[in-house]
Structure 1
Amino acid sequence: MPELAEVSRIVHFLRQHLVGKTLSKVSVQNDDIVYGKAGTTAADFQKAVVGKKVVSAGQQGKYFWIAMASPPHVVMHFGMAGWLKIRDADTYYYRTDKPEDKEWPPKYWKFLLETDGEPKTEAAFVDFRRLARIRLVDCPADEIRNYSPLKENGPDPAADKDVVTEDWLAKKLRSKKVPIKALLLDQANISGIGNWMGDEILYHSKIHPEQYSNTLTDGQIKNLHSAMHYVCSTSVDLLADSEKFPADWLFKHRWGKGKKNTPSVLPNGDKITFVTVGGRTSAVVPSVQKKTRLAARDIDDVDASSASAKAKRKREPATKEEKEPENSEDVTPKKKAGPKKQTKTSIKTEDEAETRAVEELSSARRRSARLRK
């Protein structure tokens, strides 16, 4: 999925090729998922932008927008495999020699834009998996971030450096008890960080992804804050071009999982291993990222051991002393214990509930896998 850095690359090209120009021609493909699930239609989109001038482009994490001369404005999310192509511009963040990637119009397009004047610009939004979202937001252009879906998301560490301070991060981490990687991936906390950026940040801060957020020391929080701004700023400045990423970044060496004869190691020989955190595969360098406090997997192991011990006790035959006496009338019958009342946990926010659900599902899957072995 395109993350903060990749989306920033697209915003760069939108500002370079579309801003200041009028959309003279707009073609759309009806898609009741890409448009419909965002509360609009392809026809509504076409009507809203054709003949309008693009005045600006912006970003908050994985969301980005093009602001028109008058409302409504277009807010987009790439989902897992969406992208925006501009004809004769190198918008892709990875190099490809596939002939179909050079076709125009490209396959799986959802809208095609063409500007007036010379040189004109042609742009296309594509998504073969239909997990992207294209919506219209009716508000003043400078207030887009105050409206859904952006208002439900956390600050962008690249655009909101004055908000994502070390003190702010410390309060956020200590307010939740979740694996640190899961917290970074939750867009309600921080916008834009996805799987590879989360791993890169944790590697540079020397923090294990399974360690609980509320157990980090002041020193670890300082390192995490520094690494977050370093990774985000560097990748954005380089327009997400991985060929230009520093040689010591984890990114360049993390893709060997499951591939034959492709060892997952850093240039210095440090081994890269993989664990599942928050339902996502995380790349970890054990020699660098050590657990300094109790972490998610440790809790799971204790729970699994406890469950195994209880199951073993139930299977053991009763001893003579434990067997019921022949004259059961001499024994005062014990009341059967009824079901324990469950204490309702107060969940203050929707994002905490979602994070907890993801964490519990991931934990249950790991326990099930271990018990099957």
Structure 2
Amino acid sequence: MPELPDVEVYRQRIDRWAVGGRIQHVHAPEPEILEGVSAQSLGRELDGCRLQRARRHGKFLFLGLDSDQWLVLHFGMTGRLEPFDCAQEAPAHTDFSLELDDGSCVAYVAPRKLGLVTLTDNPDDFIAKRELGVDALGLDQDRFLELAKGRRGSVKCWLMNQQSLAGLGNVYSDEILYRARMHPKTKLSDLNDEALRKLFAARSEVLEISIKADADPRRMPDDFLLPHREADATCPRCDGTISRLKACGRTSYLCPNCQPSNSQ
């Protein structure tokens, strides 16, 4: 599933590909991904509008228009953005696309059709209605510690809770815990301030490096977990063996040597 680093990369690419362009046409061949708007009304709202800015919060991407409306994109399990020449055939599994006045198109590609496209007048209101927490990249250490205090459950469940920290999912929460040398089932209430500061630092390191690497595991440092994210792979840090377990209902990967179950 695309998580915060992926969507931040999409935001940066949209800045290059589309911001400043005027929408000439909207294609919405898969209306099931539309929420609260039909393909026809979406076309009426977007046709002729200029894309002025792009904003991200958690896993949501907001595209601001000169009509004061915002196009909202969520990428579900497999979604991505892909540019193409409008004179050519759209990429396979294109569920939605924008044709711009320079002849370029941007496709929203989601093979499993589990994403979301909608409109909002105000991103902050949209975020509030969805009960999304603070963006996981946009908070300081003090706020991070404040949010963690008094919370129950495991540290991985908390990192993945979109009402607490918006943007982290299964993959990047595993990476953060690997960097912090914490077992995913460690109780959040067992972490003291020093451990929480260590977790915050790991969050910063993982997100910043992953974004610089375009959220591509092949471009990430070899001592990250992501390039070795499979059971029985060799841990790049201690030469132990990567294992997997269920945490928060998801398959989690970790190094038992680096992340013992009593890790604090």
Query: Could you say whether these structures have the same fold, taking a TM-score greater than 0.5 normalized by the shorter chain as the test?
Result: yes
Taking a change above 3 Å as real, the CA distance of residues 293 and 122 of structure 1, as seen in their structure-2 partners, is closer
Matched, 1:112 2:111: no
Output the CA distance in 1 between the equivalents of 2:63 and 2:74: 12
Shift of 1:137: 0.2
* Counterparts of residues 12-161 of structure 1 (less than 5 Å): 12-31=12-31, 33-35=32-34, 38-87=35-84, 104-117=89-102, 120-139=103-122, 144-148=123-127, 152-158=131-137, 160=138
Output the CA distance in 1 between the equivalents of 2:178 and 2:214: 21
Partner of 2:234: 265
Quick check: 1:179–1:213 contact (8 Å CA) kept in 2?
A: yes
Shift of 1:68: 0.5
Quick check: 2:62–2:73 contact (8 Å CA) kept in 1?
A: yes
Quick check: 1:23–1:51 contact (8 Å CA) kept in 2?
A: yes
SS in 2 for 1:286: coil
Amino acid at match of 1:135: T
Output the CA distance in 1 between the equivalents of 2:128 and 2:22: 26
SS in 1 for 2:166: coil
SS in 2 for 1:145: helix
Amino acid at match of 1:48: E
What's the TM-score once normalised by structure 1's chain length?
A: 0.66
Taking a change above 3 Å as real, the CA distance of residues 151 and 30 of structure 1, as seen in their structure-2 partners, is closer
Matched, 1:192 2:167: yes
Amino acid at match of 1:201: I
1:230 to 181, 202, 205: 205
Output the CA distance in 2 between the equivalents of 1:149 and 1:244: 35
Output the CA distance in 1 between the equivalents of 2:263 and 2:50: 54
SS in 1 for 2:157: helix
Output the CA distance in 2 between the equivalents of 1:286 and 1:293: 10
Shift of 1:157: 2.7
* Counterparts of residues 164-179 of structure 1 (less than 5 Å): 164-179=139-154
Output the CA distance in 2 between the equivalents of 1:237 and 1:149: 29
SS in 2 for 1:177: coil
Output the CA distance in 2 between the equivalents of 1:180 and 1:218: 14
Quick check: 2:182–2:263 contact (8 Å CA) kept in 1?
A: no
Taking a change above 3 Å as real, the CA distance of residues 227 and 293 of structure 1, as seen in their structure-2 partners, is closer
Shift of 1:154: 1.4
Kindly indicate which of the two structures has a greater share of residues assigned to helix: 1
Kindly indicate which of the two structures has a greater share of residues assigned to strand: 2
Quick check: 1:71–1:137 contact (8 Å CA) kept in 2?
A: no
Shift of 1:293: 7.1
Partner of 2:156: 181
Q: After the TM superposition, which of the residue ranges 103-112 and 199-208 deviates more from structure 2?
A: 103-112
Deviations 1:86-113 (A, max 9, x none): 116xxxxxxxxxxxxxx82122222221
Q: Over the residues paired in the alignment, what is the CA RMSD in angstroms? A: 1.9
Output the CA distance in 2 between the equivalents of 1:213 and 1:135: 35
Taking a change above 3 Å as real, the CA distance of residues 30 and 231 of structure 1, as seen in their structure-2 partners, is closer
Quick check: 1:145–1:151 contact (8 Å CA) kept in 2?
A: no
Output the CA distance in 1 between the equivalents of 2:100 and 2:61: 20
Larger radius of gyration: 1
Amino acid at match of 1:3: E
Taking a change above 3 Å as real, the CA distance of residues 151 and 132 of structure 1, as seen in their structure-2 partners, is closer
Output the CA distance in 1 between the equivalents of 2:207 and 2:74: 19
Partner of 1:291: 261
Taking a change above 3 Å as real, the CA distance of residues 225 and 148 of structure 1, as seen in their structure-2 partners, is closer
What's the TM-score once normalised by structure 2's chain length?
A: 0.92
Quick check: 1:215–1:293 contact (8 Å CA) kept in 2?
A: no
Output the CA distance in 2 between the equivalents of 1:6 and 1:201: 15
